[in-house]
Amino acid sequence: MVGVLAGPLLWPGTDSSREEGIATTATEQRSVLVNDGSGSSILVDSSSAIRQRQTGCCNYTVELLKGQVAFRMQPNRIRRFHVLVGAVKIDDIGTIFAVRLTGNGEIVVTVAEGLVRIFTPHQPQQILHAYEQATIEFGVRAQRISPSEAREQLSWMDGRVAVQRETLGAIVGRLNRSNRTQIEIPDATVGDIPIGGDFELDHPVHFLRFITSIRPDLRIMKCTIDRREKLRLVEADTALAPNCRWDTQEPHSRQPSVRSLVPNP
């Protein structure tokens, strides 16, 4: 289960400079406020790290060190808010956007509302509008994305995963990165099942029960290993493993944590 911790990130008006680092574990997110009176907030995703600074009364900088971070920024004529990722600078202009640093060093900026300005050593300023996404490595590659794609890519901000088409194994990977209770899929062919839908990150058993409601050939095995529970999604004719029991709750297609989830052929 992802823990969301709330607290102030930046400080109200002051002539001094302050700096603070924030790092999250694999099973938590950190929600913090910008104390400028605007109601702006920042969400640090799981397995992510930032360093933030305030200089003077109104100059705020957040440096993304790893993972991803999202911003819900309200307009403020006085505040200057910047995001740094290496040599790349992103200026906020009252918007909702996210910045992700991939494992291979690419920077992905996705804008849902408003606009941001991107500055890199390789290209002049580029403006990114709502429903646009930029991938930055040696240059800025911007592309238009649909509202549904933007919602899908930013759904983690609301503690959800929304996908149009992804394999069951890939979705389980997302759930495992956000929960102490891990899911195992021993059969690779089961992991390759294509799925589309919208569901909560912190209810892995609800997700699996929904899967078994649309795939009655699958069952959920609950196993206790080293005093921790693991969930296994297996074919219905699989023999019960040691230290395991079958999940006996009736599968239902309307789990409260699942908005819509259907097989995607």
Angle in degrees, CA 75, 77, 81, rounded to 5: 70
Q: Which residues of 7-19 are buried (b: 16+ CB within 10 A; e: fewer)?
A: eebbbeeeeeeee
pLDDT at 251: 63
pLDDT at 18: 75
Q: Which residues of 65-83 are buried (b: 16+ CB within 10 A; e: fewer)?
A: bbbbbbbbbbebeebebbb
Structure tokens at 107: 């920077």
pLDDT at 221: 96
What is the residue type of 47?
A: S
pLDDT (tens place) for every residue of the chain, 265 residues total: 445 445 555 544 444 567 889 999 877 889 888 877 788 899 999 889 999 888 877 788 999 999 999 999 988 878 889 999 999 999 998 789 999 998 888 999 999 999 999 998 877 788 999 999 998 876 677 788 888 788 888 888 888 887 878 899 989 988 887 788 999 999 999 999 998 888 888 889 989 998 998 899 999 999 998 888 999 999 999 999 999 999 988 765 555 444 444 444 4
pLDDT at 265: 44
pLDDT at 4: 47
What is the residue type of 16?
A: S
| SS3 annotation, 178-219 | HCCCEEECCCHHHHCCEEEEEEECCCHHHHHHHHHHHCCCEE
Structure tokens at 210: 């929904």
In whole angstroms, give the CA distance from residue 79 to residue 98: 19
pLDDT at 226: 85
pLDDT at 212: 92
